[in-house]
Chains A and B, each alone.
Chain A
């Protein structure tokens, strides 16, 4: 897997070794958060830590003064939608990877609900080949959990895994039939495959587009009760207990969901979960007068739920933060709220938005890096998310105090459907390396 980036680098010679001196290094894999230096050579981390300071460097090495910068492992984003294949006008591997690099994301895990759906080993091959040719960051596909994402027959977990699929999901869809989910969890066990599930009971959600309650009522929008999420999550926890499967909830969003997950973990079930940066940053009131860029599935929730999700990330109950990067063109978004597509782009903004939680004292740097790099890498079995000597040199150099304003028109993604239009952020990625190569450098 780790060879993809190296083959996508183009024909130029390997970069010379680089020393990032006097940076704050955050590497939760080793419990490290200290000022030191990072040495990158031959695509790998040669050394990283306080002990590397002031050792000098051989002639010809690039030395970067990284004083007041923070160096973290490149982020691993495990929920990214692309338009390729099928909807290249929304996003391609090339455009998504530029956006990712600008956001400090060095590994993207793609969703299989493209056209065609990625439910065949040959299609996994196709994704990996296109990524090798086009992408500056590492790309790992998830494959469909059920054939055609129809929720009826499980896909070929074994062959798809061998082809390179890192997990199985029906992306935006929930598998409503409990029997299908039970068999998927059971069969996946034989291959150690991870099932990633969108938890929303479709029959209870109905035609809803906003969280049921005062806001939806005032706006005249059909509501979805939070129970659509908790019922499905509760069901899944029972099925994981029954089958012993490996399970990851792709996006949790309610306070009650956190309690269900906490109880399941306490029972020793092999379960983890993500939350999207949108649900950590925004609540339903941000929808304002029907801003369709803030339409998501699950819908934005009450502020109490957002606070509970932040707590859950801080204490590690919710393992992973995803961007949920979901490029949609104007044709899909410029509709009345209920008729607009779900989703927002996020690769370029997820770190900056998460840094707000760090600046507010809600998350530590270590926990942030765990949730956005280390844990997703561990859960998916990827060699990423750490700055340990010998690890691939995938890293982001962040200026934590740099203020910037999000200009939607300047987004690198082909689609500009961001919920953070004109947002003020503090903290920006100034340089991103994948396999030792600089894939993004902010203009000074």
Chain B
């Protein structure tokens, strides 16, 4: 999936991260994932200093191209780019203006002509970022494409988990809620499987994807069984338009059976930690008491997000042409 750069001369040693783009977790080896996580640890230190600025991206142009609004992901990439010294430009393209006739490829060609070094792309359709990556000459980072992948989210989740549990391998991770529409779930499944975690998906059958068993995960419709023994409970956001009868009959029924409250959290391991990619619907998929409670890592996930995105930007920048 992730296209690798084939330009390295045979004499140079294989780089730790040989890809030009980060389009998904699919295609990354466990070592490449660990390389990014280790790099991100360094970036956490940088971000916690008073002087947060590095200059590895000085002179580079990073464009955040968001076809779908996302305040937190966009600002996270923006801060990450700026801390590395890049010139960051945000472009929010409402999907309506794209429908006026300009295809994604036209947009790509236009942007490419502005000679950016890195494009960070969020799009509402699966595969859109791959399509774009084929048409531009810079590095492309997938910041979420439809229900397909959101690799930096999975990396920041892994970083957060590893900092608390010391490892990923051997952990049991329950991913709960709207799996079928979730790119976060897909990227997390791929990453957690690659690093040797046991992944359980929990949710109503209408929100579990078809063919899930073939992805190397177990599925549960009952939170008690699904959370049993879980070291990590990862909650997903339920979109408002899916709440009223289309996928689940009502918010109150959904919360009753699948909302994470203290009672259901008690099914998990005693030291289980709670995560959520945000933005949360308190009272829909998660009880405020849990979201803001001692087992919650939700605020820390945001901090790790910046570190992971810095690590990805810096790693890809190593492959940018220097002449």
Interface residues of A (CB under 8 A from B): 212-223, 225, 289-290, 330-331, 334-339
Contact = CB atoms under 8 A, between A and B. Distances in A.
A338 B126 contact: yes
Contact of B104 (A216, A217, A219, A334): A334
A290 B131 CA distance: 8
A165 B164 CA distance: 72
A213 B127 contact: no
B209 A217 contact: yes
A290 B130 contact: yes
A346 B228 CA distance: 54
Size range of the interface on B?
Answer: 20 to 34
Contact of A336 (B101, B128, B211, B212): B128
B1 A213 contact: no
Contacts of A289: 1, 127, 130
A338 B181 CA distance: 14
Nearest to B134: A289
B209 A336 contact: no
A223 B126 contact: no
Nearest to B186: A220
Given A336-B126, A336-B127, A220 B183 contact: yes
Interface string B81-121: 00000000000000000000101110000000000000000
A339 B210 CA distance: 22
B103 A335 contact: yes
B146 interface: yes
Max chain A C-beta neighbours (<10 A), residue from B26, B149, B209, B212: B209
A337 B215 contact: no
Contacts of A221: 126-127, 146-148
Contacts of B130: 289-290
Given A222-B147, A223-B210, 5 more contacts: A214-B211, A218-B211, A334-B104, A335-B125, A336-B123
A236 B130 CA distance: 40
A97 to B, nearest CB: 29
A336 B131 contact: yes
A218 B215 contact: yes
B145 interface: yes
B112 to A, nearest CB: 14
Given A220-B147, A220-B186, A337 B210 contact: no
Contacts of A337: 125-127
A336 B104 contact: yes
A220 B103 contact: no
Given A220-B145, A335-B103, A336-B104, A213 B210 contact: yes
Contacts of B131: 290, 334-336
Contacts of B45: none
A290 B146 CA distance: 12
5 contacts: A214-B210, A216-B211, A330-B105, A331-B101, A338-B127
A334 B127 CA distance: 12
Given A219-B148, A289-B127, A330 B211 contact: no
A336 B147 contact: no
Contact of B211 (A213, A220, A222, A334): A213
Contacts of B186: 218, 220
B105 A217 contact: no
A226 to B, nearest CB: 11
Contacts of A215: 211
B205 to A, nearest CB: 14
B215 A217 contact: yes
B240 interface: no
Interface string B179-214: 000010010000000000000000000000111101
A208 B26 CA distance: 23
B219 to A, nearest CB: 12
Nearest to A212: B210
Max chain B C-beta neighbours (<10 A), residue from A212, A225, A336, A337: A336
